[in-house]
Amino acid sequence: MREDVYEQPAAAEVWKATFRGLKRPESLAFTKNILKSVSRVPAYTESGIFAGNKAAYDVNFSRLDAVVERIIRGLFFYHSGYRLPDTHLPKSFAAEGLTDPKFWLEPEMRKPIEVVSLQPANFLGDGVFGYKFVRLADDLDSSIWLMSFYLSVFFVGFTYKKN
């Protein structure tokens, strides 16, 4: 869990439950997989002063994106009253996984994200999860989503028509 997230009270409770779950015998393979990706990385203060090393792990963004895509399907149903048709797919991207800054600067990305950002925010669980979305006028089954977890971890998502 990210340091900035762990400090939030709701996240601390989730961490306790997660840690208990990782101790279960049936979670052994998953726990080993996480531990294999742990490494030591330099830590710096906000002013850039080296503060020693800390533990970090590689995040599997494709795994996170798959979870968020299921959330998009559920939210689509919640707001539309029907499931996402088989003609459409959800897609999501963790903002941290989008390391190419051009992604955010391309007009075909920037404009839709600006439109969604103007929508009212929906929050669940005292800021644990928040989202904004807009459905496209010319295809109500296509949509754009901005989501946050603990106001620190961000995703952009879409529903779009299959080719």
Q: Where in the chain are the domains? A: 3-57, 61-161
pTM of the model: 0.76
Q: What is the pLDDT of residue 6?
A: 60
Query: Residue 4's pLDDT band (boundaries 50, 70, 90)?
Result: low
**pLDDT tens for residues 97-106?**
766 666 666 7
Q: What is the pLDDT of residue 27?
A: 82
Q: Is 99 helix (H, G, I), strand (E, B) or coil?
A: coil
**pLDDT tens for residues 28-72?**
888 787 778 788 888 888 899 999 988 777 777 888 899 999 999
Whole-angstrom Cα distance, residue 32 to residue 30? 5
Query: Residue 96's pLDDT band (boundaries 50, 70, 90)?
Result: confident
CA distances to 1, 52, 58, 99, 103 from 55, in Å: 11, 10, 11, 21, 29
Q: What is the pLDDT of residue 60?
A: 77
Per-residue pLDDT at 85 exceeds 80: yes
Q: What is the pLDDT of residue 15?
A: 74
- CA 113-119-122 angle, 5° bins: 110
